[in-house]
Structure 1
Amino acid sequence: MHTEFKVLWLMRHGQSRGNIDEPTDNHANIPLTELGQAQAEKLAARIDRQPGLIVMSSFLRAQQTAAPLREKYPDVPVEVWPETAEFTYLSPARCHGTNRTERLPWVREYWQRQDPDYHDGAGAESFRDFVQRAEVILRRVRTRPEENIMIFSHGQFINCLIEMAIHPYASVEERMARFRNLPELPNAGLIYLLVPVSDIPSGEAQSR
C-alpha cells in the first residue's frame, strides 16, 4: 500500500561511559554503563510495534542499545548506516584519554566560531559535512521500501534530523546558529519523525 510518509523512529543510545565524564580513548568505541544497558532493555520493552528495518550507527554504544530490540524482533532485518554516527567536530587525536569536563573549553571554542566549514583537525568533520550526512539519510529513507524504520543513533545527529524537518529550507549557517539551543534528547529517548516520500524537504517530529 502506498504511503505519503515514512515513519522514522529515532532512538538515542543509553547512558555511556562518556556521559558520566569518564575518560575515553576512541569516540566510536565508548560502551554503555550498567544503567545504559538497563535503559536499552526498558526502551525495547516500550516498543510494541515491529519495525520494518532496524538501523544502527557504527558506534558501539548505539549497537549495544539496539541489542535488546534485535532480540525482541529477531526476524527484522538489521543494517549499519555509518552516516548516522555522532557529530565528531573535535579532532579525535587530541581528545584521546580525556573526559567531557576536560574537553569543555574546546567545545565552547568550536561553537563560538560559528564557522560551518571549520575543521578541528585529522578525523574531525565540519558542521557542513555533518548536515550533508543527515541529508544522505533522509534521501535514503525516502527510497527504502519499509514504511517504519528504527534508527539507533546519537543526540546531536538526531537533533540535526529534527532541525532539518522543522526548518527544511534553512541555510547551513542558520542551522548552526540554532543548533546548540535545541533541547537534548535524553539517553534512551525516542522521537518519531515523519519523512515525506517525495523530495519535498519537510517533516514533523513527535516525542514519545
Structure 2
Amino acid sequence: MKNIFIIRHGETDLNRNGIVQGSGVDTQLNEFGRHQAQAFFKRYQHHPFEVVLTSALQRTHQTVENFINLGLPWEQWPEINEISWGSHEGKTSTPEMHKEYANMTNHWKAGNYHARIDGGESAQDLANRIQTFVQHLRNRPEKEILICSHGRAMRCLMCVLKDMPLQQMDHFKHANTGLYKAIYDGAAFHFELENSLSHLEFKTSV
C-alpha cells in the first residue's frame, strides 16, 4: 500500500495574468503562490513522507521546498513537466489563440490525441511520458510519496492513474496547490481527495 499525494504548483504571476506557461517557460512562484506553498507545508509537515518527486521546472521545486529543506530525498522528473504549448507559450491569450486551443482540445475529446499547437506537444506525447513516470511510481519502494506537477500534466496523470481515456482529461480540476490523494494497493490507484484546497484554511494573509 502506498499513499501518494499529488499537488499542482503554487501561483505564478503568469497564472494570475492569464499568460500561457507550459514546459518552455520556467517561472517562479509569486508572493501568493509562496503563501499557498507555506499553507500546504503547515498542514502536512508532519506527514511521514519518504520522498519528494517534482518536475524539472522551478515552480514545482519552490512549492515543496519546505519539505525538501527537511532533508527528504528529492528527485526531478521531466516526465511530469507541463505540456509544451508551443507557439502559445509566454503569450497572453488572444481570441485567435483561444480558438486554436479549443480546436485542439476538441480533437482530443474526439479521440484524436495527436493534435497539437504549432511547435508543441500532443496529448499522446504527454501521455507517453506520463506513462513512463507512472510505471516508475508503481515500482518505487517508498510508501509515502509527495509529487508536485502542473495543470495539464496532472489532468493526463489522473487519466493514466484511473485507467481512463485521455478524452476525459478536462474532467479533472487543478487549482494552484490543489491536492489529489491516492492509495495504491499494488494493482490500482484509489482516490481519497481530488483537487482539495482544505490546506488553504491555514494560509496567512498576503
Equivalent in the alignment of 1:62: 60
CA spacing shift, 1:185–1:23, aligned 2, 3 Å:
closer
1:159 Cα deviation after fit: 2.3
Equivalent in the alignment of 2:144: 148
Equivalent in the alignment of 1:37: 34
Asked if residue 51 in structure 1 is aligned to residue 45 in structure 2, the reply is no
1:107 paired residue among 101, 105, 122: 101
Aligned ranges 1:64-103 → 2 under 5 Å: 64-71=62-69, 73-74=70-71, 76-88=72-84, 90-91=85-86, 94-101=87-94, 103=97
What is the aligned-residue identity percentage?
A: 22
- The AA in structure 2 aligned to 1:204 is H
Equivalent in the alignment of 2:5: 9
- The AA in structure 1 aligned to 2:169 is F
Asked if residue 188 in structure 1 is aligned to residue 182 in structure 2, the reply is no
Equivalent in the alignment of 1:206: 192
Q: SS at 2:168's partner residue?
A: helix
CA spacing shift, 1:148–1:100, aligned 2, 3 Å:
farther
2: distance between equivalents of 1:82 and 1:131?
Answer: 13
Q: Please say if residues 138 and 195 of structure 1, whose CA atoms lie closer than 8 Å, have aligned partners that are also in contact.
A: no
1: distance between equivalents of 2:94 and 2:38?
Answer: 29
1:66 Cα deviation after fit: 1.3
**TM-score, normalization: structure 2?**
0.81
Q: Please say if residues 56 and 77 of structure 2, whose CA atoms lie closer than 8 Å, have aligned partners that are also in contact.
A: yes
1:65 Cα deviation after fit: 0.6
After superposition, the CA RMSD in angstroms is 2.1
2: distance between equivalents of 1:24 and 1:130?
Answer: 17
**TM-score, normalization: structure 1?**
0.80
1: distance between equivalents of 2:157 and 2:89?
Answer: 28
